[in-house]
């Protein structure tokens, strides 16, 4: 039931994003200040479509508290009891496991050579890297630095614009386009394929443990990046919003 | 005919002059490498630091970054409405903020590995130098925008994973300037620096 409603949400979202409305609302800032900035240099402020700003700011504050008072203690405890090589190995394993997201996204973008390299990387890391725990691909020049790919980015390559900026509870910054992409990524992630159910002696908590390990293992790095952004920011909400949009635009262009 | 010769001569002499300027100011990648090596040499010297990293790396950053250009661009068109005193004050405060936040990113542990890719020529006096930083098992794409400022190659922007430092601050300064002008930007920078130093 949950999967079916997510599927409906995904296709519905995709259809809405494909409407011309999404495109029209993503124009540069029309006011005089932005025009003057554009004349002056290449760093002109680009208007980010944020019609839900009051809600987003509230959610940003909520997430900030959640990160500080719930996730940070979990992350610190996890770092304390888990040696760095284990954290790194687990990170490599989960990244390798999410190969279908990257593979399908590159195919949908028509990057067939890149898709082939993704297959090679997955094969090298899975076979020679003990199931993906060791990132052997770092030593193979043509697959050492493949850019990350996902469905939200694929939609961007297709010309679908960001749509409204959204701060999602727990998940943080995003856009309408990337949220729809995230739902698609969910289905492409083998961790959600319920494959463990076919193993003898399966318990429901196996899946939960696997997903929780992935989440907790990624926390230290994510929270560190967030903290650095916040420390350097004069207005953390605007800083994170600008960084997110710039980051996603760059990944669409690459 | 004579005018064509004159034109040709002026083009040749201009090209020679530009080339001389570039040679005199050195290779931007070499300048960047030596600056980064200097910073890493300080941070990962293996000795217990006697002062905060922000103090130790400041001379290297001041030598390699053009904080005047960075501040002016981060503020944007509003900069022209600042008084000279306001411009100077903003530059001092913003330099302080950038140095603190840059230095705070360093922490004890393994030294990051840096790979330099071929520079991209954006203009005769502008280069983008892409690098990959390998740190704690993760790779980050960091590009440095360098420009000839007073015949010296200086860093004028840092782009981490596609996020430009100048664009990020511009997105924050712009509404501040619209709301309260130069005074609002200066007040906000002062508050931030008090906050940063209080945490330490």
Across the range A164-188, mean pLDDT stands at 96
**What proportion of chain A, given as a percentage, has pLDDT over 70?**
84
Average pLDDT over chain A reads 86
- pLDDT value of residue B15: 45
Q: Which of A45, A221, A253 lies closest to B170 in CB terms?
A: A45
Residue A205 confidence (pLDDT) above 90: no
- pLDDT value of residue A12: 52
Q: Which of A36, A88, A242 lies closest to B77 in CB terms?
A: A36
Pairing relationship of beta strands B120-123 and B113-116 according to DSSP bridges:
unpaired
Residue A20 confidence (pLDDT) above 50: no
Taking any CB pair shorter than 8 Å as contact, residues of chain B touching chain A are 73-74, 76-78, 97, 101, 104-105, 132, 136-139, 161-164, 166-178, 188-189, 192, 196
The residues pairing with B132 across neighbouring beta strands, listed in sequence order, are: B115, B141
- pLDDT value of residue A35: 43
Q: Where are the domains of chain A?
A: 2-253
Nearest CA of chain A to the CA of B31: how many Å? 24
Nearest CA of chain B to the CA of A242: how many Å? 6
Interface size A-B, in CB pairs within 8 Å, comes to 86
Measured between CA atoms, the residue of chain A closest to residue B199 is A231
- pLDDT value of residue A36: 47
For residue A253, the chain B residues in CB contact (below 8 A) are 162
pLDDT tens across B80-109, in order?
Answer: 999 999 999 999 999 999 999 888 777 767
Kind plus residue range of the DSSP H or E element containing A29: none
The residues pairing with B147 across neighbouring beta strands, listed in sequence order, are: B126, B154
Pick among A88, A225, A243 to test the B interface (most B CBs inside 10 A) = A243
- pLDDT value of residue A246: 95
pTM (2 decimals)?
Answer: 0.83
Q: Which of B76, B167, B175 lies closest to A246 in CB terms?
A: B167
Measured between CA atoms, the residue of chain B closest to residue A229 is B101
Residues (pLDDT < 70) of chain B are 1-25, 108, 199-200
CA distance A30 to A34: 7
The angle that helices B67-75 and B165-199 make with each other, rounded to 10 degrees, is: 110
Pick among A29, A238, A248 to test the B interface (most B CBs inside 10 A) = A238
CA distance B78 to B185: 11
pLDDT tens across A26-49, in order?
Answer: 444 445 444 445 445 677 777 899
Classify A223 as helix, strand or coil: helix
Domains of chain B (ranges; CATH) run 26-199 (3.10.450.710)
Contact A231, B104 (CB under 8 A): yes
Task: Please report where in the chains the tokens 């009051």 appear, as a residue.
Answer: A54
Cβ B189–A234 below 8 Å, yes or no? yes
Give Cα B48 to chain centroid, integer Å.
27
Nearest CA of chain B to the CA of A171: how many Å? 20
Rounded to 5 degrees, φ, ψ at A154 are -60, -45
Query: What is the DSSP code string of A117-167?
Result: HHHHHHHHHHHTTTTTTS-GGGGSHHHHTPPP--HHHHHHHTT----SEEE
CA distance B143 to B159: 5
Across the range A213-234, mean pLDDT stands at 91
Q: Which of A6-15, A68-77, A93-102 is least confident? A: A6-15
Distances in Å between the alpha carbon of A67 and those of A171, A219, B45, B145, B199? 10, 10, 33, 33, 18
Distance in angstroms between the alpha carbons of the first and the last residue of chain B: 71
Chain B contact for A88, CB < 8 A? yes
Pick among B71, B72, B76, B194 to test the A interface (most A CBs inside 10 A) = B76
Cβ B78–A234 below 8 Å, yes or no? no
Compute and round to an integer the Cα radius of gyration of chain B.
20
- pLDDT value of residue A197: 80
Cβ B188–A249 below 8 Å, yes or no? no
């Amino acid at each position: 039931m949950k999967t079916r409603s997510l599927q409906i949400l995904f296709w519905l979202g995709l259809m809405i994003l494909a409407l011309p409305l999404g495109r029209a609302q993503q124009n540069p800032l029309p006011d005089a200040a932005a025009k003057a900035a554009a004349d002056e240099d290449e760093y002109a402020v680009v208007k980010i479509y944020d019609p839900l700003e009051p809600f987003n700011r509230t959610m940003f504050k909520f997430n900030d508290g959640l990160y500080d008072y719930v996730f940070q203690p979990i992350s610190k405890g996890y770092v304390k009891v888990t040696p760095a090589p284990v954290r790194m190995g687990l990170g490599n394993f989960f990244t390798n496991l999410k190969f279908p997201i990257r593979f399908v996204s590159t195919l949908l973008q028509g990057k067939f050579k890149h898709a082939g390299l993704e297959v090679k990387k997955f094969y090298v890391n899975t076979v020679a890297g003990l199931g993906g725990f060791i990132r052997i691909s770092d030593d193979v020049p043509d697959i050492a630095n493949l850019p990350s790919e996902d469905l939200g980015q694929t939609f961007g390559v297709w010309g679908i614009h960001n749509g409204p900026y959204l701060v999602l509870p727990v998940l943080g910054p995003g856009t309408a386009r990337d949220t729809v992409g995230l739902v698609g990524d969910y289905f492409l992630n083998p961790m959600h394929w319920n494959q463990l159910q076919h193993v003898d002696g399966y318990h429901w908590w196996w899946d939960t443990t696997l997903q929780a390990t992935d989440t907790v293992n990624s926390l230290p790095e994510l929270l560190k990046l967030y903290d650095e952004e916040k420390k350097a920011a004069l207005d953390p909400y605007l800083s994170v919003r600008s960084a997110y949009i710039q980051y996603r635009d760059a990944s669409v262009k690459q | 005919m004579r005018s064509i010769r004159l034109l040709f001569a002026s083009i040749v002499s201009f090209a020679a002059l530009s080339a001389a300027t570039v040679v005199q100011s050195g290779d931007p990648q070499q300048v960047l490498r030596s600056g980064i090596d200097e910073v890493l040499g300080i941070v990962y010297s293996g000795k217990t630091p006697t002062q905060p990293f922000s103090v130790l790396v400041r001379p290297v950053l001041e030598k390699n970054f053009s904080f005047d250009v960075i501040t002016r661009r981060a503020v944007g068109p509003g900069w022209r409405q600042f008084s000279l005193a306001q411009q100077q004050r903003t530059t001092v405060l913003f330099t302080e903020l950038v140095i603190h936040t840059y230095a705070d990113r360093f922490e004890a542990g393994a030294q990051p590995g840096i790979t330099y890719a071929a520079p991209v020529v954006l203009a005769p006096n502008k280069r983008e130098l892409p690098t990959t930083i390998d740190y704690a098992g993760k790779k980050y794409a960091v590009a440095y925008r360098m420009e000839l400022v007073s015949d010296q190659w200086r860093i004028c922007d840092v782009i981490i994973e596609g996020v430009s430092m100048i664009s990020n601050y511009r997105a924050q300064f712009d509404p501040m300037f619209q709301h309260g002008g130069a005074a609002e930007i200066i007040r906000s920078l002062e508050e931030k620096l008090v906050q940063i130093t209080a945490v330490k």
